[in-house]
Amino acid sequence: MTAGEPLIRWDWVLSHLGDIAQRLGEHLVLTGLAVGIGFAVSFALGIWIARRPRLYAPVTWVTGILYTIPSLALFALLIPFTGLSLLTAEIGLVSYTLLILVRNIVGGIQSVPPDVREAAVGMGYTPLQLLWRVELPLALAVIIAGVRVATVTTIGLTTVTALIGQGGLGFLILDGIQRFFSTPLIVGAVLSVGLAVVADGLLVVVQRAATPWARGRS
Amino acid sequence: MNGSTNLGATVDFRRVTKRFGLGRGGPAAVNDLSLTVPPGEICVLVGPSGCGKTTSLKMVNRLVEPTEGQVLIDGQDVAQVEVTALRRRIGYVIQQIGLFPHQTIADNVGTVPRLLGWPRERIRRRVDELLALIGLDPARVRNRYPSQLSGGERQRVGVARAMAAEPPVMLMDEPFGAVDPIVRERLQNEFLRLHRELRTTVLFVTHDIDEAIKMGDRVAVMQQGGYLAQYAPPSELLTNPANDFVARFVGADRGLKRLSLMTVGDVKLSDATTARQGEAVQAIRARAAAAAARHVLLLDADNQPLGWLQVERLPAEGVADVGGADPSSPVFTGETTLRDALSMLLGSAVQTGVVVSPSGRYEGVLTLDSVGTALRAATSRVTASTDGASSGLATHEHSVQP
């Protein structure tokens, strides 16, 4: 960075508002896709293994390995197969959501008190009714808590996908680094953090609205 | 309800054995159990932990499947009925209640009717009716969540939920085991009152012999290894335990326990010398002398007892007045159990209790002697009846249940 240069140049920000909004939009799409697909995969996996405790350990082992692979290395490994594409980005991002989401979906279902389950079965709930009407509603708070963590993590991680040409707020950060120009770097970082905070807040609201029974205990 | 008098079903265990473990080679949890619960009765399964009582209960709604033998409801083998359809016809109450925390009280109570596809409006009416029946104000609790109710209220809701679709059979697994003794006693009494109206068949599991004696029309005492030690009405269990195990299980105080099965109404009352408020003392003194009575019971114009007059202390002349009467003796109705009556008699100075009708009118007096006489008579009656019957299933009525 050049000496005497201010940390942030507002005139640049004002003249690049459209560009910044576009990057923000890209970031949202990348994150939304990753969390959405990750949730769908985890939901299926979670329901499958919630009733098969023996599968829980291997599945968390695999998702745990995925979680520990450094994102740059993962992208580098994938590029020979899927190129510098959205698919490459999403494979990486989705992989990182699985550990958190599967764990919370299974944990949520398993946290349903045994007496509640026994009463439901004893009154004649079918296994499917038990899942949809009792287990999932009661697991909702834990599941949404998992979605919150996954979302916040993914928003941060998505900045890396700029390296494989997928835009997002990471593009601004990369741009700042390459040009020794701090303004876009700061804008990208602050927006990424802000987005995470807002998304987390929204999910808290969703969680409270979805679990009215957890409020107003006397 | 709605005037239905006997919607209970007969429940039949036919040579039922349950073994757990791989290949079912494990020790039997329930061993060759045969017993019949007549429609509309409360059958209590009681015994120490590990005696197979809960396992037996769960074989009725097929939460546990028997290894051998059959369970029949009104003659139909439960194994032949589709399992969810079977369970929706059987009320189920467990100790931890298992209310759905995410549903309102109304939704909880309406669970089985909803599963059965009742119209919404019918469910709503049934829920309100049940809440009122169990003594909860529908307007107050309908839209609350279980966590907002007290333990006793939650337990009542659990019972209401089990009764919602008018099941011919109810299974209750230690339903009042998790509440404090005062609430438990109230819940027991409420349930007995409900049962007198509904007359559904109830299988009730407890490890508490006092609860078994209080709640059961018949009591099945089970012992370790899943053996049925005795199946009999409570009074017979107490008078004629089938073996040492049952005798020890019902306790050395079984003679006292029998007192809770009998009420003041079962005892032949004595008559006291009575006096009317405002009556001349000379007449009262003459009557007391004739009966060799030292105390006279003072009644008001409506025959309601006011207290005891001590004959020696009556004024020389004038009229009897409530001011001189000592109201300290215990007052019973025909519904008071002999256990409570005896306890109050022992605690009072006069050891004579006044028995009144439900409207408070004098009916007679109860003394320690008359309690003893009634107990001796009941013992000889039970002994005679069981000596006559070769099977353990005696036929005489359990005296608490009218």
pLDDT digits (tens, 9 = 90+) for A13-35: 899 999 999 999 999 999 999 99
Q: What stretches in chain B show pLDDT beneath 50?
A: 1-5, 386-402
Question: From the CB of residue B96, how many other CB atoms can be counted at a distance below 10 Å?
Answer: 17
Q: What is the DSSP letter of B268?
A: P
Q: Tell me whether strands B362-367 and B218-223 are parallel, antiparallel or unpaired.
A: unpaired
Tell me, what's the pLDDT at B323? Answer: 75
Entry field: residues in chain A: 218
Would the CB atoms of A115 and B96 count as touching at under 8 Å? yes
Q: What is the DSSP letter of B330?
A: -
Structure tokens, A182:
């701090």
Would the CB atoms of A134 and B88 count as touching at under 8 Å? no
How far are the Cα atoms of B255, B370, B383, B384 from residue B378, in angstroms, in the given order?
Answer: 11, 12, 9, 10
Q: Interface pTM (ipTM) of the complex?
A: 0.83
Helix (H) or strand (E) holding A25: helix A17-50
Would the CB atoms of B96 and A123 count as touching at under 8 Å? no
- Measure in Å the smallest separation between the Cα of B145 and chain A Cα atoms: 6
Q: Determine the residue of chain A that is closest to B163 in CA distance.
A: A123
Instruction: Report the alpha-carbon distance of residue A110 to residue A138 in Å, rounded.
Output: 10
Q: Which of B100, B104, B157 to mutate to test the interface with A (most CBs of A within 10 A)?
A: B100
- Measure in Å the smallest separation between the Cα of B91 and chain A Cα atoms: 7
Percent of chain A exceeding pLDDT 90 equals: 73
Helix (H) or strand (E) holding B259: helix B254-259
Tell me, what's the pLDDT at B360? Answer: 87
Structure tokens, B324:
């001189």
Considering only CB atoms, which residues of chain A are within 8 Å of chain B? 113, 115-126, 129, 134, 137-138, 211-213, 216-218
DSSP E strand stretches across B131-243: 169-173, 201-206, 218-223, 227-232
Instruction: Report the alpha-carbon distance of residue B97 to residue A116 in Å, rounded.
Output: 8
Tell me, what's the pLDDT at B388? Answer: 40
- Measure in Å the smallest separation between the Cα of A108 and chain B Cα atoms: 14
Percent of chain B exceeding pLDDT 90 equals: 51
Question: From the CB of residue B314, how many other CB atoms can be counted at a distance below 10 Å?
Answer: 18
pLDDT averaged over chain A? 91
Kindly report the backbone phi and psi dihedral angles of residue B293, in degrees, each rounded to the nearest multiple of 5, phi listed first: -100, 135
Instruction: Report the alpha-carbon distance of residue A123 to residue A107 in Å, rounded.
Output: 24
DSSP E strand stretches across B24-176: 28-37, 42-46, 68-73, 76-77, 90-94, 169-173
CA neighbor of B296 nearest in space, from B281, B311, B315, B318: B311
Percent of chain A exceeding pLDDT 70 equals: 97
How many contacts (CB atoms, under 8 Å) link A and B?
Answer: 73
Tell me, what's the pLDDT at B398? Answer: 39
Tell me, what's the pLDDT at B402? Answer: 35
Rg (CA), chain A: 21
Least confident among A114-118, A155-159, A212-216: A212-216
Instruction: Report the alpha-carbon distance of residue A155 to residue A157 in Å, rounded.
Output: 6
pTM, whole model, 2 decimals? 0.78
Kindly report the backbone phi and psi dihedral angles of residue B171, in degrees, each rounded to the nearest multiple of 5, phi listed first: -110, 130
**Tens-digit pLDDT profile for residues A39-94:** 999 999 999 998 888 998 899 899 999 888 888 888 889 999 998 999 999 999 99
